Structure 1
């Protein structure tokens, strides 16, 4: 099941796209298309659970439409594939990314771990997620210098994070992230930052 929440917080809809067990029967050795036909047959009309329709056709064209609609990507499955847990070539998720500007709240650095930039909506200081700092060495050093020059208190709403150097407002970041819900940034990486005083 996949959850979809609309503007009305009470109008939550669950999207169903596969079924693995039914009434004590294991369906994993049945092909994907047949499993989905079983699933379609048990979802009642006007239910809060909606059947996730397949979109047959050219994968590139479908991905283009999903990307233009601001969706986070598409999942492609082989119609005759049996369900197997773990990595498999029977299904593929193609992710759609976009770029945006965010404000830097702080940098989290722990020895032996990747560094993260903590992100906020511009102008609000509202935390929306974190991004890997994947810059080259020179740019990382410039960013850390900026962080040291703009030390600030943690936002009131943020829990304590001992490995974080908090930053005063004003440092802007360019972030690549997965399309979708802008209130929670996912699969994000830092592309660059504003070096203006």
Structure 2
């Protein structure tokens, strides 16, 4: 169907604070690309695996959209009882029927390749595509500008994984990007998983 490489954030130590940055909360989930072309839908992982059959609720809602052709970049999550993402529930595979997609970027809409557009315009297109589809696939919230460092402190207070800051004026390019900066909450359980994997 489509051949795209994921845009990957660069790990940083400080959150940028300029007006040209968008800031998104990093939820604890699996990175996914949702591809729809007519009646075909695929869910592709960052590692290149096809997980279409694993998450039926995402697929079902992608097919309900009136737009027949699009590619979305996002994250697969399971909501816990508190409404936030629950990685253990996602990882267990026992709640695959409840997995949703948190959409944060759009690469294709109809016959248009949107990757050359600035992120701000891609966000507008994504919002329009999903505005009447609140179930299964939803748009990630973001904040803009100097609020970044303050937002990161709140993110840590609430126990989220971290923050990804993205340049609003840049195109989408596959591979490691200096225009996407991920700053991790050092106290989040995901850090323990990384350290355990390295031992």
Query: Bigger radius of gyration, 1 or 2?
Result: 1
What TM-score does the superposition give when structure 2 sets the normalisation length? Answer: 0.49
Structure with a larger share of its residues in helix: 2
